[in-house]
Amino acid sequence: MTAKKTKKPLKAVMQDDTKSTLNGFPNYAYLQSKREALLPELQPFVAREVMYEKFMHVLRHPLLIMDLDTIPPSPTGNNNATCNFLYRNRKAASEKARAEKEWLLFILYHERPYQIMALANIAHELADREYWELLGQVYMESENIFQQKGRIAKLLASQRRHRHCIMSKSEQRVLRAMPEKLTIYRGCKNSTNSKQGWSWTLDRGKATLFANRISFSNHRRPLVLTATADKKNVIAYFNGRKEKEILINPKHVTVIEEADTKKARNA
């Protein structure tokens, strides 16, 4: 069964409690005027974070990420009623999608940082082709691969059949045409964990750019790793982001050089 690639709008499942909706969409003006305590099941997911150059209360739930302190201030001073309303509807929508085996829709009702987790939660309900198709789609949309590396590694290490379905047909053709021995690169910061990732590239320039980007935010020395790998061990080749990405278990990679990004640019 092919994973569906459409997402029904939240409007389609919006629970109407009179004034809370307007033409099928949330009535934010009304919701921000309501005085309401945050639902008990959401309270453990609230933390104080710096946003807009000040400390604010932020909700980070798998189904909803939202700041609770409104800017500019609303009559109630918070977004509790809005959060409760959106959460109830997303919860109902995700439960409906799961019951109807609308797997991609179920995943998309989760906030992006939690979509890998959502896929892991339903993996046992998926056919093999669905599993790999969904994993490819969710992986390519992920923004926090490093934070989810343990869960992603477990999903990628699956021995399910039809692993090629993680790629598009054009990506499959490109991978088949590659030589049996590959030279691959990885941009990372100078730490053991960062060096042992699953994501590599055929493009040294892309690796250099990535190393500089992540190292700047972490204040660590940027490195470009050069390695060799056998094509038979490659899980996938992705080029949807024009990065010529090679997905491979790091235990199948042999690093032959570590260079700072200045040296890598001149190579």
Alpha helices in 123-248 (DSSP H): 128-141, 149-156, 169-177, 192-195, 204-218
Structural contact between residues 79 and 86, judged by C-beta atoms closer than 8 angstroms: no
In the chain, the amino acid numbered 167 is: M
What pTM value is reported for the model? 0.78
DSSP string for residues in 27-40: -HHHHHH---PPPT
Question: From residue 162, how far is each of 40, 122, 224 by CA, in Å?
Answer: 43, 18, 32
State how far the Cα of 136 lies from the Cα of 116, in Å rounded to an integer. 11
State how far the Cα of 199 lies from the Cα of 184, in Å rounded to an integer. 10
CA angle (238 as vertex; 233, 239 as ends), nearest 5: 145
Q: Closest by alpha carbon to 103, among 112, 111, 94? A: 94
pLDDT at 105: 95
Q: Could you read off the pLDDT of 135-160 as tens digits, one per residue?
A: 999 998 886 666 777 888 899 989 99
Q: In the predicted model, what is the mean pLDDT of residues 126-131?
A: 96
Report domain extents, the chain. Answer: 10-90, 168-266
Q: Closest by alpha carbon to 79, among 59, 98, 99, 52? A: 59
Q: Could you read off the pLDDT of 173-230 as tens digits, one per residue?
A: 999 999 999 999 999 877 666 678 899 999 999 999 988 887 665 566 788 999 999 9
Which two structure tokens, joined as six digits, stand for 151? 């869960």
Q: In the predicted model, what is the mean pLDDT of residues 241-253?
A: 93
pLDDT at 260: 81
Radius of gyration of the chain (CA): 22
> 3-class DSSP state for residue 140?
helix
State how far the Cα of 138 lies from the Cα of 133, in Å rounded to an integer. 9
pLDDT at 210: 87
Q: Closest by alpha carbon to 213, among 193, 234, 242, 189? A: 189
How high does pLDDT run on average in the chain? 84
Quick count: other Cβ atoms within 10 Å of Cβ 108?
Answer: 21
